[in-house]
Structure 1
Amino acid sequence: MCNLNHASLCTNMKRLGLQRISRFLMYSALYVQCLLAVEMTVDPPSNIQIEDLGTLGILEITWQPPASMSNMSECSAWYELTHQVVNEERWKSVRIKRQTYKEAFDLGKDIVIKIRTYLEGPCTEEREVWSEWVEINYPTHLQGTPETKVKDFKCINDKFETLICEWSAGELGSNSNYELQYWQEGMSEKRVCAHYMTENEINTGCHFGSEEFELFSDLFICVTEMPGMDPIRPSYFIFQLQNIGKPGVAENLTLTMDISGDFDLNWNEPKGKIPAHCLEYEIQSKNQMNMWETVAKQSESRYIFKRSETSNTCIRVRGKTNIYCADDGYWSEWSPELCWEEPSYNLGLKWLYCAVAVVIILTGLCVAASMYTVRMKRQWSKKLQYKAKELVYDIDPGHNSRC
């Protein structure tokens, strides 16, 4: 019995020893892999350059691969850049293999760009390895005091036909005025506004002429000082024209009532170059408090609603570019107010109808009187004939009355 227990104990100890050895070997392999991972590193890009292309917002970023990659030709490398999206709070990240990158930035703010290297291939045992981030600050060196900047700047693409930009003036000296510069892809160089709107001899807007701007393409605008005048803090803006469109007013509103008492509202699409499929409409009606409230939002230029949906049937309509054609836009002006009126007849027509009725009645009476007179004449004629026969018979009894 003791020998059997001793053999079992020996067997268990051997198994325990094998488990420990296998665990040691596994942990050793993992440790070696970790050491290799720690040892395998890649450097960030080198010789990073940022160039202003003179297009009021587009910067070109170029760089060179890290020098440590010269002996790693069997591995593929790419680069990741991250920066803040213009006019937004979020950051944008992009991975590319080339060593150049162009992007639109707000040149009125300090620009921060981060870049790092990614490496993968046989030299990294097919594992992805990346470098530390390199941060580049691109100072804008703005002139002029912040108080001189324009305020409340906005641009409207009216009916997709005319571009109008307006702003409020900042605190300017006697030798200061604003100049609006603009550029869009396809232009050989930036241009200057030719038709300013002014207030107290200060430029407060630009009415663009017959320029053909492209939709779905960035339009870069800078408002700064006139050449030779005191410096003004420049303001930079980037728009896409489809996102600042404003339709015309809906036209020819008509309101009719069908047999069931429902209202049928129709209108014509607003004039302009905005396609019909790019428009949505808001319909409002007055409530019991004589205040406007939204009845519906839809894409069709017709709306049918129950008369019970509104106590005071006064309607108005406005339009806007929809989400299928633009990310944003302006509502059009409201159409003229259209109110339902019960059908009423003209007073002259009423007198005409009355006169016709009187004539018809008098005519009927005359016809009836004529017929009555003819009838009475016939009756008197028969009576006279009968009396004449009786008189002849009394004079000559032998006379045959049938002759």
Structure 2
Amino acid sequence: MDPPANIEITDPGFLGYLSIHWTQPASLQNLTGCTVRYQLRYYDTYEERWRSVRTVKLTYAAQFDLEKPVKVRILTVLKCACTNGTEVQGEEKEWVYTPEPTGVAGSRIRDFHCVYYGKEYMECTWEPGLVQPPNSQHYLYYWHREMDETKECPEYIILSEGRRGCRFPRESLLEFSKFNLCVNGSSPAGSLKMAYFSIEVQNHVKPAVVSSVHVSEIDGELKLDWSPPSGQVPEHCLEYEVESSTSMENGKEKQEKMVLQNLEDTSYGVPREVESQKTCFRIRSKVNMYCADGGFWSDWSQTKCTEDKETQYIPKWTYLGLVGLVVIGIAGVIILCLSLWILKKICIKKINKKNALYTLYKEKVNETMPTILSPIFK
């Protein structure tokens, strides 16, 4: 059985997303009542393995690294009466295209990597090639499947040596799809070598620093509580790593690390070491395996220790003692206020009675004394 004919690979300008076309073998065009399918294999240079697909169509699109040879293999699969109802595979045909290297030797960029910060913006940075002609200028272009054409970097990251990266706003990104990038350049000595990359942005997320970390101690148990980091990463997509460092009475340090993969779990508790003097914690986060195939750990949070005044909590029995003291104090204040109020009432009553008797006495004296002496007793 003949292989497909007129195999052709075209580049629509999507930075490695190529279209593969072919036609049905001439020997099968007059067959009726048969099922003709095609088995296509192509070499994925990003993952370094062959990928396979079966289709009844005469076209297929796939991602390739344009810095490496493009390898495609295709054969015909036939099933009809003449094959006794079983599938028969024909001869496989291979097509290889090797791009011709262009650009100044040694000028390809190095150390290219992208970080999607909190799912709010992404930065892709690079270092210049080992050979960088004077007055060189780099350019970055990108494309994903919801774009009609490639676009240039929306905001370059510029250092004293020139362009060293690109910052992408969240609106320009697309998750769970190939995000293709190309960095090239120009110089008076000629064009710089092109560098192609294809990533999935959800695998490059770096969450923000974990905030609101608190340490408490209740009945001999140390408990660490925190709030999820800010940003656009859903809480159920995060896992945490807790690092503890305990100072023992013998002067030694005991360190432990624990990864917490329980969804939406933002607390961690451990028994306090009997011979411990102080325990310090710090925590970081990462997108878990349920939401991405990869990612970066966040930076560590601020360290919190059991002896920190702002984080130290009082044991339960001490809370009960404090509550009792507060109640007793309030009761004492109330009793004191009532006593003062009663005493004031008694004093006012005695003063009023004394004034009334004195007034009556003056009236009797004035009645019996001569008029000339009455001013003395006023």
Specify if TM > 0.5: yes
Contact 1:176 1:230 in 2 (8 A): no
Residues in 1 aligned to 2:279 and 2:105: alpha-carbon distance in whole angstroms: 51
Residues in 1 aligned to 2:307 and 2:209: alpha-carbon distance in whole angstroms: 23
Matches within 5 A, 1:4-403: 42-170=1-129, 171-209=131-169, 211-226=171-186, 230-259=190-219, 261-286=220-245, 290=253, 292-299=255-262, 300-308=265-273, 311=276, 312-341=278-307
- Looking at secondary structure, tell me which structure has more helix per residue: 1
CA deviation digits over 1:107-162, x for unaligned, max 9? 11111111111111102121221112111112222311451111110011100001
Q: Count the aligned residue pairs.
A: 305
CA deviation digits over 1:53-76, x for unaligned, max 9? 111111000100111112322221
- Looking at secondary structure, tell me which structure has more strand per residue: 2
Equivalent AA in structure 1 for residue 3 of structure 2: P
CA deviation digits over 1:206-251, x for unaligned, max 9? 1224643222122110001148872111111111111111100100
Equivalent AA in structure 2 for residue 293 of structure 1: E
Residues in 2 aligned to 1:70 and 1:128: alpha-carbon distance in whole angstroms: 17
Identify if the C-alpha distance between structure 1 residues 132 and 252 changes in structure 2 by more than 3 Å, giving closer, same or farther.
Answer: same
Residues in 1 aligned to 2:37 and 2:274: alpha-carbon distance in whole angstroms: 62
Identify if the C-alpha distance between structure 1 residues 308 and 256 changes in structure 2 by more than 3 Å, giving closer, same or farther.
Answer: same
The structure whose RCO (Cα within 8 Å, separation 6+) is larger is 2
Identity %, equivalent residues: 37
TM-score, normalised via structure 2 length? 0.75
| Bigger mean CA deviation after superposition, 139-148 or 244-253 | 139-148
Residues in 2 aligned to 1:252 and 1:246: alpha-carbon distance in whole angstroms: 19
Residues in 2 aligned to 1:229 and 1:62: alpha-carbon distance in whole angstroms: 38
CA deviation digits over 1:12-35, x for unaligned, max 9? xxxxxxxxxxxxxxxxxxxxxxxx
Residues in 1 aligned to 2:144 and 2:206: alpha-carbon distance in whole angstroms: 20
- List gaps (5 residues or longer) in structure 1: 1-41, 346-352, 354-359, 361-403
Question: Which portions of structure 1, spanning 4 or more consecutive aligned residues, are displaced by more than 6 angstroms?
Answer: 342-345
Tell me the SS of whatever aligns to 2:192.
coil
2:368 corresponding residue in structure 1: none
Identify if the C-alpha distance between structure 1 residues 229 and 251 changes in structure 2 by more than 3 Å, giving closer, same or farther.
Answer: farther
Q: Answer with 1 or 2: which has the greater Rg.
A: 1
Residues in 2 aligned to 1:309 and 1:68: alpha-carbon distance in whole angstroms: 85
Identify if the C-alpha distance between structure 1 residues 281 and 79 changes in structure 2 by more than 3 Å, giving closer, same or farther.
Answer: same
What is the CA RMSD across the aligned residues, in angstroms? 2.4
Contact 2:134 2:188 in 1 (8 A): no
- List gaps (5 residues or longer) in structure 2: 314-324, 326-331, 333-378
Equivalent AA in structure 2 for residue 322 of structure 1: N
TM-score, normalised via structure 1 length? 0.71
Tell me the SS of whatever aligns to 1:234.
strand
